[in-house]
């Protein structure tokens, strides 16, 4: 059990929780496409939204005219089942005495939170970059008209896909994601640079692209992962994703708001806890999360697969 000295060394749980709650990593962008919503149960069903949920309706009504009616776009429900994601780290009493325990605990929390969030990012990206995630007419795999070709205009091509999605759901996509190497290739494209300047050394910025394509959010997926601690792979690959992500109402979302997808999290679950073992020699810091990732509005997303010639992309 912890003695008096160890009681002074233990960080109170509210401090640990605040570290975890305040943790952020700008590299991770997945929850901009799949926002997190809190639900009461870790197993259940949520509504699936058809394209009707995203259309803009004419709600005007003439005096004594018939009522305007809609089915809210909810046709079916999909089951979800959350999985727990957890990592803990042990800190020896001797390490505590040789260092500052706050630093060790903070590092352990941040390292574990980083790993848990990286896995979540990878799971979201895998789903978002899979053709079968989308409705039938909401994908295009390029084969001979790659956007990095000098005679093609990538901005015009992406704009045409955005218009295609707008024709499907009645709203222009407001969120766009490019893989890291897609951005590296296309930001140097002569036709894209020409939108901003005629200077050959003038590079466009992400803000330029966002404005050109009238997107509320333009994000580049730059996170990477390794399975062997030697070779690093891109989480977001050779893909461009367009989606309409329903903005939150009053800074909150629920599973009943139509959206491309959600990360469903158990309400009141997740965060950190810590404890000493019975010997009083090992202090454990634990981080956990509980969630499921679901696509609930496949019609409101569009996947452009292989926008860069795979031969060039592999370089």
pLDDT digits (tens, 9 = 90+) for 258-277: 889 999 999 888 788 888 89
- Specify if 190 maps to a domain: yes
> For residues 114 and 25, is the Cβ–Cβ distance under 8 A?
yes
- Specify if 15 maps to a domain: no
Looking at residue 255, its pLDDT comes to: 79
Looking at residue 122, its pLDDT comes to: 96
As a whole number, mean pLDDT of residues 138-145 equals 96
Looking at residue 14, its pLDDT comes to: 52
- Specify if 20 maps to a domain: no
> For residues 186 and 144, is the Cβ–Cβ distance under 8 A?
no
Range with the poorest average pLDDT among 8-17, 81-90, 116-125, 183-192:
8-17
As a whole number, mean pLDDT of residues 168-183 equals 94
The token pair that represents 303 in the structure block: 């996947």
Using the predicted structure, report yes or no on whether residue 7 has a pLDDT greater than 60.
no
Using the predicted structure, report yes or no on whether residue 199 has a pLDDT greater than 90.
no
- Specify if 283 maps to a domain: yes
- Specify if 8 maps to a domain: no
Confidence band for 101, pLDDT divided at 50, 70 and 90: low
Q: What is the total residue count of the chain?
A: 315
Confidence band for 107, pLDDT divided at 50, 70 and 90: confident
How far is Cα 130 from Cα 237, in angstroms, rounded to an integer?
A: 11
- Work out how many domains the chain is built from and give that number: 1
Using the predicted structure, report yes or no on whether residue 197 has a pLDDT greater than 90.
no
- Specify if 60 maps to a domain: no
- Specify if 254 maps to a domain: yes
Using a 10 angstrom Cβ sphere, with 0-12 exposed, 13-18 middle and 19 or more buried, the burial of residue 255 is middle
Helix (H) or strand (E) holding 282, with range, is strand 282-295
Which region, left, alpha or beta, applies to residue 210 given φ > 0 means left and ψ of -120 to 50 means alpha? Answer: alpha
- Averaged pLDDT of the chain: 86
Give me the CATH number covering residue 217: 3.90.1690.10
Domain that holds residue 133: 42-53+74-313
Within 10 A of 251 (CB to CB), how many other CB atoms are there? Answer: 6
- Specify if 101 maps to a domain: yes
Tell me the per-residue pLDDT of 206-258, one tens digit each, with 9 for 90 and over.
Answer: 999 999 999 999 999 999 988 887 788 999 999 999 999 988 776 677 777 78
Cα-trace Rg, the chain: 24
């Amino acid at each position: 059990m912890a003695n008096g000295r160890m009681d002074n060394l233990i960080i109170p749980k509210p401090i640990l929780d605040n570290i975890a709650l305040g943790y952020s990593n700008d590299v991770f962008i997945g929850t901009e496409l799949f926002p997190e919503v809190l639900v009461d149960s870790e197993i259940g069903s949520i509504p699936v939204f058809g394209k009707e949920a995203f259309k803009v309706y004419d709600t005007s009504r003439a005096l004594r005219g018939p009522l305007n009616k809609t089915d809210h776009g909810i046709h079916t429900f999909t089951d979800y089942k959350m999985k727990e994601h957890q990592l803990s780290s042990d800190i020896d009493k001797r390490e505590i005495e040789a260092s500052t325990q706050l630093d060790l605990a903070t590092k352990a929390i941040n390292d574990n939170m980083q790993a848990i969030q990286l896995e979540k990012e990878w799971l979201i990206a895998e789903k978002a970059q899979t053709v079968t995630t989308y409705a039938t007419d909401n994908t295009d795999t390029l084969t001979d008209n790659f956007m990095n070709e000098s005679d093609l205009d990538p901005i015009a091509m992406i704009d045409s896909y955005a218009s295609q999605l707008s024709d499907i759901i009645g709203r222009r996509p407001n969120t766009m994601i490019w893989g890291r190497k897609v951005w590296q290739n296309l930001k140097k494209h002569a036709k894209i640079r020409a939108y901003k300047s005629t200077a050959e050394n003038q590079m466009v910025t992400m803000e330029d692209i966002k404005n050109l394509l009238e997107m509320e959010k333009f994000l580049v997926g730059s996170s990477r992962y390794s399975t062997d601690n030697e070779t690093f792979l891109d989480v977001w690959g050779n893909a461009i994703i367009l989606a309409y992500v329903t903005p939150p109402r009053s800074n909150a979302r629920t599973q009943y708001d139509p959206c491309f997808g959600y990360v469903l999290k158990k309400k009141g679950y997740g965060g950190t806890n810590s404890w000493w073992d019975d010997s009083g020699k090992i202090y454990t810091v634990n981080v956990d999360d509980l969630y499921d990732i679901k696509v609930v509005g496949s019609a409101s997303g569009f996947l452009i697969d292989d926008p860069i010639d795979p031969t060039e992309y592999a370089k």
